[in-house]
């Protein structure tokens, strides 16, 4: 063992000597094989996480522990400028959901490296692509260029956020190992005078000025360009490590047989564009988003399938990728108005970790790869020895990738169908090269959408697998090597030990037919249901497990180092989740979650005799082969009582429609010029951003004189799916329901039947909002105006316009919930959604029993209590529906947070998850609904109820969530009426 460690240390020294650094630090270096962190090669298996989309800091650790438990060693963060800066020159990095120092600390606690992506532009289907919304009035200049106006704007952001990131770099003892410069910015010209080249240089200089010295990266948008690589036409602006994003799966929510096509061109692409660097995919398909009027994620079964992970993620590693970030690994929720118009409230994304924080089968399957790459040092520095149809196999239906380690005889073969979407069952044999000569192994099978690793000269401590067609899940070094193999039930595996002769074995557990192989001097078996243990006379202990058993296997580290060595872990079979492990004397202490009471098996090495689960010592038995077994509790017998949502109070949330409404405190909209690159259709300018109202609904009151006006023409723009309504002197006169394909909508309506007066007629218009655009939406991205683009009278002209939006405009009067939570509806401005607002004088009506009569907006509020046991994780949500044909807009507020937007005539979302901390699982809650009926038919709900997604006995400590700090109570807002 000492010799192995000396050789490993020598290999590390030699690798570090050949590696490249950026001249600013030596903690993170690289070559064509992989990153080296502190001189040690590592395969980065990362997941994208957006803390903005989960504004409960305690739950960040919950997500990070689930990433780590499923084999990831890194988390990638976007930092959205829009979330932290409500107005020019002001930044918030301290309120709970924006405390990014805490974010870094929790990532460190979970044992994860961090890839930091501060923009300034992010995309990410977030409002304005992450650009500060105070620049949506055109004041930021020419976006994503070297324009000096834009330069001045974003430089301040990078200085502010960069200083915090810099303190958390690995060079300062923190977790940050990479920083990304901009995002998906395609290099269109290889010219040092090009504005994009200058822009990239500006950002890189700003990173350095902020103290960011770890390597930089970028994110190429698919196979659309060859941008910013030092190895390809570098005229300036190149980053240290080139990155390519890719979403090749083709999300189909109607036909599970469509899409599912993995390109076999990644290796060649990187070979051409960045041959001196490791292959990095900053965004590889963890799922895909769905638009308004699209599908809900639960319908998209192909994307949720564990087959996706088995084919796509193995397939990209087999093409030599050693830095892989799944976008997204956890999506979260577009609460408030944090979404760009291209998505609705949910950002579940069909990600491996569901929006409810539940582990999908796709994540369980991905874990079989991440735990393999974690201990497979041979994969960190390979050459592509060969690849192609029929390579090393006897079937023309199969494509094989063959990677060879540069420093040893270790090889990694991956067999996939030529057509990755194939559901064919294909039997084949494979001929592999080993240090002992070529070996042909028969009886392999690909059962449809499946990939299979075959390894040769694969070290497992002081023993080496000469070859194995049983897939290696992982191995550990305890008092002897323990290796875990997995196969689908009924499939055949074969393996042999290098240099070992006359090896005998004993088996335990599920009945299995393991026997000496007729060829290759090894052992062969057909995978049985469950788990079999084979104890070999050379000291190796092998678990032979089927896929369901592999999904319940965990290898929790006993170190906080993100790079986990084979001797820094314990093995656990059985639970839903193992978060952490610790060995102290003869006790192995596990913290985790479980669904149903189950047996647990732990391999922790010699001297350990007792299992502790979530702080309780268990009655522990020892098996004949040295593992420990016990029983752990589940949640199946734990009763959860969810109250009915009744006892609502109601108030009118559109008093502004009345001609007698007092709007003396409103802003007069009288601008005749605008910085926006989009010109108004009429004057005065009615773009809401010009008056510092950025998010949510806006309300306009246009005054005119004369009784001969016959109608009006209105053009509004609130983002796709946004609609609007108009009232003249209190009478409903027109609307547009919104359209999921139209950015702006126009309506012409008659004033026939309205009571016009000689003086001071008032046209009240309420415009909805689905976010500011990303730069991919022309003509101006985030600068595309919101509110009214134009308003004309037929037979007259407006004498004055007034506008009202969210309370306080850009003053961010509720900094905890942040600058995007509220819009300009009457109830929002007065804080009716906030805990503690007094509704005792309101009438008793309900959103299901009564609803809204005619076109209008009503506000419904109730309260309810929950008492969920503190050792349970019970993901909750609100389910709503409306009668067919209802044309309406519904906002759902929980304890002051707008956590759902339901548009029944557009859809698709009807279920809205709400995390603990936003909903109080042990205490009182305030629920508000704003129902905006867009037609005279009115609107009410047919369904409104609390729902439970799952139930998990947990040692996480959900009772420690500080809901009080997240839920500031109501204060008087009458000045914003």
Active site residues: 184, 283
Task: Name the percent of the chain in helix, strand, coil, to the closest 5.
Answer: 20, 35, 50
CA angle 739, 744, 746 (to 5 degrees): 90
Alpha helices in 797-937 (DSSP H): 826-829
CA distances from 708 to 657, 751, 756, 799 (A): 21, 10, 8, 15
Q: How many of the other CB atoms lie within 10 Å of CB of 173?
A: 9
Cα(172)–Cα(168) distance, rounded to whole angstroms?
6
DSSP H helices in 210-321: 266-273, 301-304, 306-308, 314-317
Q: What is the largest CA-CA distance in the chain?
A: 107
Q: Token digits for 691?
A: 């008056």
Task: In whole angstroms, give the CA distance from residue 714 to residue 732.
Answer: 14
Q: Which residues contact 858 (CB under 8 A, 6 or more apart)?
A: 650, 651, 652, 653, 845, 851, 852, 930, 931
How many Å apart are CA 630 and CA 755, to the nearest integer?
79
78 within 8 A of 142, measured Cβ to Cβ: no
C-alpha dist (Å) from residue 852 to 824, 828, 848, 856, 935: 19, 18, 10, 7, 10
Give Cβ neighbours of residue 263 (< 8 Å, ≥ 6 apart): 223, 246, 248
Give the Cα separation of 750 and 904 in Å (integer): 27
Q: Radius of gyration of the chain from Cα atoms?
A: 30
Question: In this structure, are residues 562 and 175 in contact, taking their beta carbons and an 8 Å threshold?
Answer: yes
Tell me the residue length of the chain. 977
What is the spatial distance between Cα 34 and Cα 19, in angstroms, rounded to a whole number?
9
Cβ within 8 Å of residue 213, ≥6 positions away = 22, 24, 25, 166, 169, 171
What would the two tokens of residue 129 be? 């692509």
Asked if 507 and 542 touch (Cβ cutoff 8 Å), the reply is no
Q: Which residues contact 842 (CB under 8 A, 6 or more apart)?
A: 649, 650, 651, 861
**In contact, 716 and 824? CB cutoff 8 Å:** no
For 120-148, letters b (16+ CB in 10 Å) and e give bbbbbbbbbbbbbbbbbbbbbbbbbbbbe
Write out 589-623 in H/E/C secondary structure. EEEEEECCCEEEEEECCCCCCEEEECCEECCCEEC
The DSSP-derived string for 765-821 is EEE----PPPTTSTTTGGGS--EEEEEEEESS--SEEEEE-STTGGG-S-TTT-TTS
Where residue 681 falls (left for φ over 0; alpha for ψ -120 to 50; beta otherwise) is alpha
Q: Which residues of 246-268 are buried (b: 16+ CB within 10 A; e: fewer)?
A: bbbbebbbeebeebbebebebbe
DSSP E strands, 435-551:
437-447, 452-460, 463-468, 471-477, 481-486, 492-497, 505-509, 515-516, 523-526, 531-536, 541-545
């Amino acid at each position: 063992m000492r010799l192995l460690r000396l050789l490993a240390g020598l290999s590390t020294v030699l690798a570090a000597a050949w590696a490249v650094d950026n001249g600013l630090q030596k903690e993170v270096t690289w070559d064509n094989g992989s990153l080296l962190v502190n001189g040690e090669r590592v395969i980065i298996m990362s997941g994208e996480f957006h803390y903005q989309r989960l504004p409960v800091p305690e739950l960040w650790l919950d997500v990070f522990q689930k990433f780590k438990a499923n084999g990831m060693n890194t988390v990638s963060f976007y930092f959205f400028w829009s979330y932290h800066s409500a107005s020019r020159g002001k930044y918030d990095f301290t309120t709970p959901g924006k405390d990014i120092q805490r974010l870094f600390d929790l990532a460190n606690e979970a044992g994860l490296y961090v890839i930091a992506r501060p923009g300034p532009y992010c995309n990410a289907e977030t409002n304005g692509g992450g650009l500060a919304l105070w620049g949506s009035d055109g004041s930021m200049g020419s976006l994503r260029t070297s324009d000096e106006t834009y330069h001045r704007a974003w430089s301040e952001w990078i200085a502010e956020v960069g200083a915090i990131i810099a303190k958390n770099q690995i060079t300062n003892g923190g977790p940050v190992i990479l920083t990304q410069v901009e995002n998906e910015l395609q290099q269109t010209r290889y010219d040092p005078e090009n504005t994009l080249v200058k822009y990239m240089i500006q950002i890189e200089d700003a990173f350095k000025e902020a103290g960011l010295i770890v390597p930089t990266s970028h994110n190429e948008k698919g196979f659309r360009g060859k941008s910013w690589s030092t190895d390809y036409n570098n005229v300036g602006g190149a980053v240290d490590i080139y990155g390519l994003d890719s979403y090749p799966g083709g999300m189909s929510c109607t036909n599970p047989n469509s899409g599912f096509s993995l390109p076999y061109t990644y290796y060649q692409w990187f070979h051409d564009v960045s041959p001196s660097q490791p292959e990095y995919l900053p965004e590889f398909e963890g799922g895909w988003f769905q638009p308004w009027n699209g599908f809900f994620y639960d319908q998209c079964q192909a994307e949720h399938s564990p087959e996706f992970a088995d084919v796509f993620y193995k397939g990209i590693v087999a093409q030599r990728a050693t830095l892989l970030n799944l976008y997204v690994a956890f999506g979260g929720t577009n609460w408030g108005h944090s979404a760009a118009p291209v998505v609705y409230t949910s950002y579940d994304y069909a990600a491996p970790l569901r929006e409810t924080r539940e582990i999908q089968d796709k994540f369980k399957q991905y874990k079989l790869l991440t735990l393999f790459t974690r201990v497979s040092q041979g994969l960190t520095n390979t050459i592509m020895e060969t690849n192609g149809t029929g390579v090393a196999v006897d079937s023309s239906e199969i494509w094989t990738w063959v990677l060879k380690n540069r420093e040893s005889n270790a090889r990694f073969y991956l067999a996939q169908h030529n057509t990755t979407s194939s559901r064919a069952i294909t039997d084949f044999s494979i001929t592999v090269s080993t240090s002992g000569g070529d070996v042909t192994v028969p009886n392999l099978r690909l059962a449809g959408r499946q990939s299979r690793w075959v390894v040769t000269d694969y070290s497992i401590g002081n023993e080496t697998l000469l070859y194995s067609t049983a897939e290696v899940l992982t191995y550990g070094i305890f008092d002897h090597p323990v290796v875990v193999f997995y196969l689908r039930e009924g499939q055949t595996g074969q393996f042999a030990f290098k240099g070992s002769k006359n090896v005998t074995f004993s088996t335990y557990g599920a009945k299995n037919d393991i026997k000496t192989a007729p060829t290759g001097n090894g052992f062969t078996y057909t995978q049985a249901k469950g788990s079999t243990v084979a104890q070999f006379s050379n000291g190796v202990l092998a678990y032979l497990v089927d896929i369901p058993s592999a999904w319940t296997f965990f290898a929790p580290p006993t170190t906080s180092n993100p790079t986990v060595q084979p001797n820094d872990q314990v093995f656990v079979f059985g639970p839903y989740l193992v978060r952490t492990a610790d060995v102290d004397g003869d006790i192995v202490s596990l913290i985790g979650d479980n669904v149903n009471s189950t047996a647990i098996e732990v391999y922790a090495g010699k001297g350990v005799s007792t299992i502790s689960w979530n702080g309780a010592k268990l009655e522990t038995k020892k098996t004949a082969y040295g593992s420990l077994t016990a029983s752990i509790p589940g949640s199946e017998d734990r009763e959860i009582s969810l109250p009915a949502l009744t006892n609502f109070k109601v108030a009118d949330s559109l008093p502004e429609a009345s001609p007698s409404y007092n709007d003396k405190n409103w802003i007069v909209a009288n601008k005749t010029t605008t910085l926006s690159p989009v010109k108004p259709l009429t004057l005065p300018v009615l773009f809401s951003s010009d008056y510092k109202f950025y998010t949510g609904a806006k309300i306009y009151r246009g005054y005119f004189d004369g009784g001969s006006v016959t109608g009006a023409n209105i053009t509004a723009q609130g983002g796709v799916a946004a609609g609007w309504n108009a009232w003249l002197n209190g009478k409903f006169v027109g609307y547009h329901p919104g359209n999921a394909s139209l950015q702006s909508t126009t309506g012409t309506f008659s004033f026939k039947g309205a009571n016009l007066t000689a003086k001071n007629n008032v046209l009240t218009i309420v415009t909805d909002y689905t976010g500011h655009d990303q730069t991919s939406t022309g003509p101006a991205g985030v600068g595309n105006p919101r509110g009214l683009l134009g308003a004309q009278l037929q037979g007259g002209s407006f004498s004055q316009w007034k506008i009202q939006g969210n309370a306080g405009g850009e003053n961010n009067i509720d900094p905890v919930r942040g600058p995007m939570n509220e819009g300009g509806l009457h109830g929002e401005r007065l804080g009716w959604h906030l805990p503690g607002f007094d509704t005792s004088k309101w009438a008793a009506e309900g959103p299901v029993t009564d609803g809204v009569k005619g076109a209008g907006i009503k506000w419904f509020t109730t309260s309810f209590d929950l008492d969920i046991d503190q050792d349970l994780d019970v993901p909750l949500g609100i389910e709503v529906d409306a009668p067919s044909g209802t044309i309406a807009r519904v906002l759902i507020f929980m304890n002051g947070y707008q956590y759902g937007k339901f548009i029944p005539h557009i859809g698709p979302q009807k279920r809205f998850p709400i995390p603990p901390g936003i909903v109080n699982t042990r205490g009182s809650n305030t629920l508000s609904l704003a129902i905006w009926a867009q037609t005279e038919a009115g609107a009410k709900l047919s369904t409104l109820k609390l729902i439970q997604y799952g139930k998990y006995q947990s040692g996480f400590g959900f009772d420690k969530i500080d809901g009080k700090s997240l839920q500031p109570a109501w204060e008087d807002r009458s000045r914003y009426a």
